[in-house]
Structure 1
Amino acid sequence: MTALHDRLLAGFAQAFGGEPELVVRAPGRVNLIGEHTDYNDGFAMPVAIGQETRVAFRPGGTGLRVAALDFAEDDAFDSAAPQRAGGGWRDYVRGVVDELVRAGISVPPGQLAIAGSIAKGTGLSSSASLEVAVARVLLDAAGERMDPVSLALLAQRAECDFVGVRCGNLDQIASAATTRGHALLIDCRTLALRQIAMPADVAVMIVQSGVVRGLVDGEYNQRRQECERAARTLGVPALRDVDEGMLDEACGRLDDLAFLRARHVCGDNRRTREAARALASGDLVAMGALMRESHVSQGRDFGITVPHTDVLAALMNEAIGEDGGARQTGGGFGGAVVGLMRQDRVAAVREAVLAVYRTPAGDVPEICIEVPSDGAGPVG
């Protein structure tokens, strides 16, 4: 298995004794392009990554006992009842259980241990991975089945309604419905999915800026409110229904801030559709140009990049050259920068980053090369 799996089993044995009956994994994700478009009913194109959350479960006893091995903390509550907030990581677990109960699922009592390899606040969707893994293992334990998109939407509701981050559906769908070796083009309104095979000679590089962000405490919800206000002013259900031409014609009806927010969303919706075509045809020149444009728009129009991610993206783009590109990925205000490049550029890009970039703490950045992985499923 893996070191993560061994740590999970050892932690389960220490917390509860014996072995679990079920183990489920759910991956994190890196979003290649299409940022803050999901809650605007738009388009996004993530890939699932090898960093993941694993959850072990054994039925029995009364209520649900939970051990969060990465925090050395635990929780216990009635798994058959609507939930109350417990704070921190507990709310992600309790929120999922709450949604399962509301959906009429008889969540069995038992012991549940959680371990992950995704650092919180790094822009790789540790929260969605946790939610999807918990939902999947409890559904399996209850003998119930949901298709991946339905499972993802349940997990999304847990984060929106229970945790309080008014996220879109991108992260949860990416964790639940991706396919190994493919990027996933998501139509976040219709929920149509298109698996796009990644070219064999293309590498996905993720570099951590070292700027950790928190979406609940940050400005994520404010950005959503600003987008919704722009859509109301324009008289449309969501910014998905506005293209860049329409926006230019209507600019006098929007205040400056609303116009900028809408311009980013409209632009990234277009860029994501174009990027899907470019990636499918192996056109890394076009793909890289779109990624660079998206990073500029995230900063100029949406206000979610920070100086460290701007420096890192510029450094990576220079090292990659025209045949690929880099951009900040995730909810913003820090986190990671993703780069897409030919395999033969990986060593040079890594060397360029390590030679120049330092995190706010003065450390060399964490760099990983990811292979697009499968969505959530059982282990063993």
Structure 2
Amino acid sequence: MNTKDRAIAAFEAQFGRAPSAIIFAPGRVNLIGEHTDYNDGFVLPMAIQYGTYLAIAPRDDSQFCAVAADFDGQVDSFALDDAIVPNPQISWSAHIRGIAHSYRQRGLALSGINVAIAGDVPAGAGLSSSASLGVGLSVALAHVSGQNTLTATDHALIAQQSENAFVGTACGIMDQLVSARAEAGAALMIDCRSLETTPVTMPNDLSVLIVHSGVERELADSAYNERREQCENVAKAMNVPALRDINIEQLEAAQNKIPDIAFRRARHVVTENARTLAAAQAFKDGNHQQLGELMGQSHLSMRDDFAITTPKVDALVALLQQAIGKHGGARMTGGGFGGCVVAIMPQSLLPSIMQHVETHYQTPKGAKPLMIAATPSSGADLLS
């Protein structure tokens, strides 16, 4: 049974009727631009064909009732006209309740809803299953509540607010915005300050391969928040709103005023912004070699300056880079401390590269790695 059908089946089993609509919101892979989003910088992600399906129908009362197909049909139900607080008994409930809370915080009217949720983004991979869930839920609530003036960007901001204020993850806007606004066949250049997005068409002869290292991202949340604070402290020390507002020469000139660790964190962000802009141009020019070089530099910067890779992930990146050569590149993608590696290469090389990885790489548990040949997909939408 595919993921969409699992959502429908869970809905019918819980509510005894067919859903009135189906919504899909994609996960994402970030091609380059890591930890730049919350520094008001630039990112270049693309939506993928995996994400979250939501089977929905309006209710006659003010209840929000959600069933999770991926958690053995576990149900969370709460009243939308009462104070919305976390349910500590259900691990995924904060992501559900946080969206409703964000609506309330914005003064948006809410109507009761039944929703069944099923996702196919691999757990612990850093491909933004939580952002796809949040964006999908925001679209669902708008549909049943008549909030027809909300834009795709509004849904992204609602989902980000939920993550920041209710779930407790100090994430930037990248994951939610690409899940909401992506266009099929293209990556999405995002200016995380203005929220301006520019589609960057993926050449037809280029393939994107995601390889799950098998290293679970257990330290990601606390380390993510720590690095965000370090970056913000450097921006304050340099009297600018964010690291987006300085170049490498300015940062180096102030090096003796900044603690070494904080300097290296900032150096990653400043140089990563420059790499991301250059990578978008390399895509447009069809310059696979330059794109690969930029990806390689990005990975070294994440490893040496931002300190968010692991030895196992580093080994996987090196394996891919060696196999791809000058025809593309590879780097860790996502928040860090495990998760996935993304590689870009000509389509003609994809089968042999996948075989090479399967032959020469094992996860920490000794298994073959999960590999996804990713398709650049469109953003969240009502399917029926």
Structure 1 and Structure 2 fold alike (TM over 0.5):
yes
Which whole-Å CA distance do the structure 1 matches of 2:24 and 2:104 have between them? 22
State the secondary structure of the residue aligned to 1:219.
helix
Q: Which residue of 2 aligns with 1:122?
A: 125
- Quote the offset at 1:12 in angstroms: 0.8
**Matches for 1:158-237 after TM superposition, within 5 Å:** 158-214=162-218, 217-237=221-241
Whichever residue aligns with residue 59 of structure 1, its letter is: P
Is the CA contact 1:56–1:112 (under 8 Å) kept in the aligned structure 2?
yes
Whether the 8 Å CA contact 1:164–1:216 is kept in 2: the answer is no
Q: SS at the partner of 1:19?
A: coil
Alignment check: 8 A CA contact 2:220 2:336 kept: no
Structure 1 residue runs of 4+, over 6 Å off?
none
CA 1:347/1:220 → structure 2, altered by over 3 Å: closer, same or farther?
Answer: same
User: Which letter maps to 1:44?
Assistant: V
* Residues 18-57 of structure 1 mapped to structure 2, 5 A cutoff: 18-57=17-56
Contact 1:82 1:101 in 2 (8 A): no
Q: Tell me which residue corresponds to 1:77.
A: 78
Tell me the alpha carbon deviations over residues 170-200 of structure 1, each in whole angstroms, 9 at most, x when there is no partner: 0000100000000100000011111111001
> Which residue matches 1:337?
341
Q: CA deviation at 1:235?
A: 1.3
Q: 1:216 deviation in Å?
A: 6.5
- SS across alignment from 1:361: coil
Uncovered stretches (5+) of structure 2, i.e. residues with no partner: none
Contact 2:113/2:141 (CA < 8 Å) preserved in 1? no
Structure 2 length-normalised TM: 0.97
Q: Which residue of 1 aligns with 2:93?
A: 90
RMSD: 1.2
Counterpart code for 1:74: V
1:160 alignment partner, SS class: helix
8 Å contact from structure 1 (residues 49, 370) kept in 2 = yes
**How far off its partner does 1:366 sit?**
0.4
Number of residue pairs matched by the alignment? 379
Supply the distance in 2 between the matched residues of 1:217 and 1:234 (Cα, whole angstroms): 26
* Superposed CA offset, 1:268-322 (max 9, x none): 0000000000001111111110001000100100010011110111101111111
Shift of 1:143: 1.4
Tell me by how many angstroms 1:59 deviates: 1.4
**How many percent identity over aligned positions?**
43
| CA distance in structure 2 between the partners assigned to 1:249 and 1:242 by the alignment | 11
Task: Show the counterpart of 2:66.
Answer: 66
In structure 2, what is the Cα distance between the partners aligned to 1:49 and 1:322? 25
Residue number among 140, 145, 165 corresponding to 2:143 in the alignment: 140
The SS at the match of 2:76 is strand
CA shift, 1:61, in A, is: 4.5
* Alpha-carbon distance in 1 for matches of 2:83, 2:295: 43
Q: Secondary structure at the match of 1:265?
A: helix
- The residue that corresponds to 2:328 in the other structure is 324
User: In the aligned structure 2, how far is the partner of 1:156 from the partner of 1:46?
Assistant: 16
Letter in 1 for 2:324: I
2:260 is matched with 256
Structure 1 residue 79: Cα displacement: 1.8
Within 1, Cα distance between the matches of 2:82 and 2:151? 24
Task: Determine helix, strand or coil for the equivalent of 1:70.
Answer: helix
2 CA distance for matches of 1:218 and 1:333?
Answer: 11
1:256 partner letter: D
Distance in 1 of aligned mates of 2:218 and 2:164: 15
Gaps of 5+ in 1: none
Which of 315, 318, 329 is matched with 1:314 structurally? 318
- Tell me by how many angstroms 1:105 deviates: 2.0
Partner SS state of residue 222, structure 2? coil
Amino acid at match of 1:68: A
Q: Distance in 2 between matches of 1:167 and 1:52?
A: 18
Q: Tell me the alpha carbon deviations over residues 208-233 of structure 1, each in whole angstroms, 9 at most, x when there is no partner.
A: 00111146743110110111111111
Q: Write the distance in 2 (CA, Å) between the matches of 1:111 and 1:375.
A: 22
1:149 lines up with 2:192 in the alignment: no
Structure-2 change in CA distance of 1:215 and 1:373 (3 Å): farther
Listed one character per residue, the Cα deviations across residues 43-67 of structure 1 (whole Å, up to 9, x for unaligned) are 0000000011011111124311110
